[in-house]
Structure 1
Amino acid sequence: MTYTLDQDLDMALALADKVDALTLARYHSNNLQVETKPDMTPVSDADRGAEELILAELAALRPGDSVLGEEFGVHGSSARRWVIDPIDGTKNFVRKVPVWATLIALTVDEEPVLGVVSAPALGRRWFAGRGLGAWATEPGLAEPRRLHVSKVAELADASLSYASLGGWKELGRRERLLELFDRVWRTRAYGDFFSYMLLAEGALDAAFEPELELYDMAALVPIVREAGGRFSSIEGVDGLAGGNALASNGQLHEAILPYLRAN
């Protein structure tokens, strides 16, 4: 069966509603179970439960599609692939910091065409489909609002989010990053999905991270692009292939790249 992007987006938003109910209940529980994965990152029963729910729903609603999830890997081989991070920001989740989200993306021939980022503890959600615009819902709004990146064109006026300095030190690029910080108006480390959503809203002008997985990025790309921004690796290659990311309002991209890429 062939689905339109509108239909896929409606399905993804309905799926996010179901996942939000599960994750929010576990977030507020007193018996959350947390383990350490081989890569030394935490995983909770909420992460696994959320991904299991998504897998079951997709098997019923999009049985011909493949799925890549953070916790349970790849299912199927279709060129239409759903890419899932059940809880982006698990460290926040387990420490009761409300900045975490479920990321749901659809890629077609490895190109992200749809993204949903749902952060129920914040009461906020962002979503986009290629050619459909980028949108956000939040408390107090009767209808979704359309997102647009900022028009800031000078580094001296820019507000940036950089993840953490430790990752940049491991790449040997922290000193160059500090040079960039000296040239801009403001820097913060908002972290995970949130930096990129603030970029799409125009509240930030660029966000970048030194190490990311496909499931960390796939849902972000359509939202950033549909809001008018650019998403590339820190070497300047557009798309998801770099294992890291620079997202910007587009106007600042080329000015920032020299501080992030290898010399």
Structure 2
Amino acid sequence: MKILVFGHSGQVATELRALDGDDIQIIALARADADLTDPAACAAAINGHAPDAVINAAAYTAVDKAESDAETAQIVNADAPAAMAQTCAARDIPFVSISTDYVFSGAGDMPWTTVDPTDPQGVYGRTKRDGEVVIVKTGGRYAVLRTSWVVSAHGNNFAKTMLRLGVEREALTIVADQIGGPTGAAEIARACITIAKTLVSEPEKSGIYHFSGAPDTNWADFARVIFDAANTPCAVTDIPSADYPTPAKRPLNSRLDCTATEAAFGISRPDWRQSLTHILTQLDFPKD
């Protein structure tokens, strides 16, 4: 099965490239191969490579920068996925696109279901929501996979930041009122492959799905687990989000109800503590 991946060096794209093997051929496109600010180029790449499925693992993910660069975020997060979805629908091949918990308001304390109304609070969430809407309207064989708090041994993410700061400082203040499920990029990549394969023979399973790690936690407690696993004696003090203002509002409630994903594809929520163990091994932690 030949799978075309938009994205090359991002966290999920890197893990997708690692899955290239005998039964799966992964073709990962860097910006030089298909610039997401040029939706027509994305469509042309799909037609040129003629894959069996397409996974969109690329996005404008600079949440704070998006607040002042809404036009680019809209093109990358909505217009480009629209072109991809339309091309895949015309070719009758599966299209899997990764989305985010930021499409929700972040209110309350119940896990968001796939049918809950969206209410993004910033440009990043709004543009990702717009991308979802057009993918659904396009039809075809598709899956929008919303996830949260992505971590891996690659790129920039919370786990790597904590590992760096933990050896530089004796104590940190970390937000404790944002709740969500840390999710390993490797687990997201495998989920995307499973979904794409399933949609080949079961197009009726097209839809919006959720996938996040378990158990739900907060950033401060997540940091404590990271420091403990890495044998890093860095103290953590809880603070509210109000004490750490950012240009873009972060959702307080990023819990995702993933039952529909398990029912449709047999994919259960991964234990993020196991994902963390694998990440630490890749990064050669704990240090002696």
Q: What's the TM-score, normalizing by structure 1?
A: 0.28
Between the two structures, name the one with larger relative contact order (CA 8 Å, sep ≥ 6): 2
TM-score, normalised by the number of residues in structure 2:
0.27
